[in-house]
Amino acid sequence: MKTILLPTDFSEHAFYALKVAASIAKKINAELKIIHVNNSTPAEFSDNYYYREFYNQLKTETEQKLNELVDLDFLKGIKVSKQIVINMLLWELVKDKEYKDVDLIVIGSHGKSGYQKAFLGSNTEKIIRIADAPVLTIKNDHDDFNIKSMIFASDFNEESYTVFDKIKFFIDLYQAHINLLKVITPKNFEPTPVSKKLMADFVKKFELKNYTANIFNAVNIEKGISDFAEEINTDLIAIETHGRTGISYLINGSIAEDIATHIARPVLSVKMEETFGYISKIRNYTKNYENWGAE
């Protein structure tokens, strides 16, 4: 991991994210790219004298704020670059050719609910949905960001294998205990031996040592992850996302986005690569699970 992207709007939550991003960058000797997006320049006003005056003043104030951030004590010793991006929405930034190849995105969020969320949407949700890089969402202040215990919530099928190396990076970096979590709901019921077999294969594949495997029953997956996180008081929740867009997103939604915007703990979301071999594997497990017994 060489490059961390930190979008900022100079809010309190963005400052929380900056502290975490700096902590990680210092730990792994990564470059920290601090970006402020300003899309308040309508093309029809770009040649207007009064607008140019307003824009120049705004640019000067923004540059001053960025300089003040870069001069903060906790950024000393870190390679930091700063940039103002105009005429681009924040969530579009992560697909721009200049920024899409970063290794990690750290973003502050306070979440939205109700009408505001339905009408305006959430930059955080959109970034989680479309970013190729892992996205770490921060909502609270962390004076000493450290991960002693983390959750990886998953189905533990073969799709999950494609994201786990990026999650394991954090496990190894902080020597964290990993709580593998499979939430079973009435809507998505799965026999316990099937769940155990899938998790056992996952553990074997990645040669995990410092872990626990947990099967948790809940009314829905988001509730299960939230309740389990509270029960063990975890430092970080890691979850995979399908990166759905369009009609698929409207129909299926995204558990990763819901978790990242509704749970106060840090959430690491990683987009998975689509594979299909796991379907026959799960069907085979389900068909033959009575032969295994309750392992």
What's the mean pLDDT when you consider all of the chain? 82
Residue 266 inside a domain? The answer is yes
pLDDT at residue 243 in the model: 59
Alpha-carbon dihedral 94, 99, 104, 109, rounded to 10 degrees:
-40
Look at residue 222 and give its three-state secondary structure.
helix
pLDDT of residue 249: 37
Residues 127 and 158 in one domain: no
In the predicted structure, residue 279 carries a pLDDT above the cut 50: no
Provide mean pLDDT across the span 255-282. 73
Q: What is the pLDDT of residues 55-65, one digit of tens each?
A: 778 788 889 99
Coil/strand/helix, residue 19: helix
- CA distances in angstroms from 228 to 31, 40, 82, 142, 241, listed in the order given: 34, 42, 38, 21, 19
Do 38 and 95 lie in one domain? The reply is: yes
pLDDT in tens, 196-251: 999 999 999 999 999 999 999 999 999 999 999 999 999 999 998 875 544 333 33
What are the pLDDT digits (tens) for 141-159? 998 999 999 999 999 988 8
> Based on the domain organization, do 121 and 186 belong to the same domain?
no
For the cut 50, the answer to whether the pLDDT of residue 112 exceeds it is no
Question: Do the domain assignments include residue 93?
Answer: yes
Of the residues 138, 157, 183, the one at which a domain ends: 138
Residues 79 and 179 grouped into a single domain:
no
Q: What is the pLDDT of residue 283?
A: 47
For residue 120, what is the domain's CATH number? 3.40.50.620
Instruction: Give yes or no: residues 119 and 160 share one domain.
Output: no
Residue 53 lies in a domain: yes
Phi, psi dihedral angles at 86 (to 5 degrees): -110, 160
CA angle 24, 95, 127 (to 5 degrees): 60
pLDDT for 119 beyond 70: no
| Mean pLDDT to the nearest integer, 31-59 | 72
Q: Within this chain, do residues 174 and 252 fall inside the same structural domain, yes or no?
A: yes
Q: Are residues 162 and 206 in the same domain?
A: yes
Q: 128 with 160, same domain? A: no
* Whether 157 and 133 share a structural domain: no
Q: Residue 38 falls within a domain, yes or no?
A: yes
Show which of 89, 106, 138 is a domain's final residue. 138
Q: What is the pLDDT of residue 149?
A: 97
Residue 144 included in any domain? no
> Are 286 and 167 in a shared domain?
yes
- Tell me the percentage of the chain whose pLDDT exceeds 90: 54
Q: Which amino acid is at 61?
A: E
Closest of 145, 138, 141 to residue 111, by C-alpha = 138
pLDDT at position 294, please? 44
Domain that holds residue 203: 149-291
Q: What is the pLDDT of residue 273?
A: 67
Residue 117 within any structural domain of the chain: yes
Domain count, the chain: 2
Whether residues 185 and 156 fall in one domain: yes
Alpha-carbon gap, residue 155 to 198, rounded angstroms: 8
Same domain, 220 and 171: yes
Provide the pLDDT for residue 4. Answer: 97
* Residue 289 or residue 263, greater confidence: 263
Bridge partners of residue 104, in order along the sequence: 4
Instruction: Confirm whether 143 is domain-assigned.
Output: no
pLDDT higher than threshold 60 for residue 89:
yes
120 within domain boundaries: yes
Query: Per mean pLDDT, which of 103-117, 118-132, 208-222, 266-280 is the most reliable?
Result: 208-222
Instruction: Express each pLDDT in 268-277 by its tens digit.
Output: 999 886 544 4
β-pairing verdict for 149-153 and 177-184: parallel
Last residue of a domain, one of 84, 104, 138: 138
Whole-number pLDDT of residue 81: 94
Question: What are the helix (H) ranges across 147-245?
Answer: 158-174, 192-206, 221-232
